[in-house]
Structure 1
Amino acid sequence: MFCFYDCKTKKNKERIKIDRKKTFKEVGTHDGRFHADEVMATAILSKIFDIKVVRTRDKKILDQLDIVYDVGGGKFDHHGAEKVYRDNGIPFAACGLIWNEFGGEVIKKENPDLTEAEIDSIFKYVDTVLVEGIDANDNGIKPEDREIIYMNISTVLSGFNPPWYLEDKEEELFFQAVEVSKQILKNTIQRKLEVIKAKDHVISAYKNRDRMKILVLDQYCPWQETLQEIDKEENVLFTVYPNQENFAIQTVKDQEGGTRKYLPKEWAGKENQDLVKVTGVEDAVFCHTGRFLAIAASLEGIMKMAEIAIHSSDRE
């Protein structure tokens, strides 16, 4: 078994028991909007196991699964207060935690003749050029904050070229790259179309808001771009919207791309009763360690959290 980084919290130094001989695994991650870290983590697991993916936040269901990541508070959930960091200071997200545990096995399975040193070299390369950027992004770290490699579309597509010893597959791989490009193009168009279709909805919510510093949406839609266009004086500090069965509060970007105001420091990484204790909000559920997102079970609860955040002295 390979593990190349010493994860620096007590929770993560404890090796969890995963039966490697059991090739079929029921794995779980959160439902709702998905992000690169749990998508790539799922891809990593699929390379070495035959997996059935369960997307839920129901702890009773998650507790029955073989591997759980990006949710549930276990070893592969990076949302707790005990953030896990690389030696260079970049925090792990679910992708990096899964890669750290299973990446060596992925490389070994696809290339059984490699030496330990060669596996180590490939493992670190993949972490540096792919996984670390995904983790940084999911933890709210912007490229300009520090030197981080983010894989770009040109690198992704050129990566379909065959290695020098498989040139006869060039034609096949070219069309694989074309298929991926078609989906990326479709998604890119769709992303901007979402913003355009949401514009009137966001403007209406902005004009009719009861609290100058809070934008309340009756359903989730892309709002950041439109809000920046219409809120020139930067009055709105937080946006509130439904999040599946719960409600979310999210920070707002300023004109330079920074954050107008963060959620309170004492909320960072706390969940359930720990978050209830520091907020006084009985149905508080979760606050991201990056302090840009928090969840409560009710609109009343999330609005109470918004009021607390507005009057907090924490800006960074």
Structure 2
Amino acid sequence: MKEISNIAMTHGGKFHADDVFSSALLKIINPAIKIIRTFEVPQNFDGIVYDIGGGRFDHHQAGAEVRENGVPYAAFGLLWREFGEGLVGAEEAARLDERFVQPLDLDDNTGCGNAVAGIIGSFNPSWDSDEDVDSCFLQAVDFAMVILQKKLESIRSILRARELVQHALEHSADNIVVLPRFAPWKMVLIPSDADFVVYPSQRGGYSAQGVPTEDETNALKCEFPQEWAGKTAQELKKLTGIDSLRFCHNNRFLVATDTAEDAVRACKLAREW
């Protein structure tokens, strides 16, 4: 992770999602950073300057940068490009840029409208308020930090899931992947050779699911048999000989058992049915 200065400067007066989320990002990277709001950057200022001053983290000057897809950068996007990879890696940084940063950048540059930007804007004092605008700015930054930290933690959670599922895939047999606990698995298993995934259920026991194909049909590589769909636990036991098989979804993508062994047995039997 790149180190950043302990002091930063942005514009004063009315604030927007761009300078607020830029500030939130810098405070997440360096909680000790001091943010100064001003209307003019002094000469020889030794710190990060953004959304003002025409420097590398401003976007108001002629020739300001535009992404390859045509979305112009704002300060938040420029700072995220600089520091995002160090927080979550290149792939996830690009994904967050596309899904979260770019809509905010586009709104700041075009006024096209964005729900999150509208919420941040509501932190500004109303026209007849005596509230201090800088205090309101800090409240907005604290709020934006919660949003951004939740986004980052969600990404890190997905990265942890990817590692767990990849490890289980590498130690799987018969194209049936058994997870030690539930974790998001589709990003790893859909492009793999896995047909089924087994994991502990939040309702107790174990669930087994068919893995979808890579195309857009949502079809499964292998479905559970039509004869199992919607049957009672007693009917399923009689049909399959699997003692703890107690549920099969009507859409045949999921079954429930009491043990991991029976879940694996159900997957193997589904192939042979």
Q: Tell me the TM-score normalized by structure 1.
A: 0.38
Q: For the pair shown, which has the larger CA radius of gyration, 1 or 2?
A: 2
* TM-score relative to the length of structure 2: 0.43
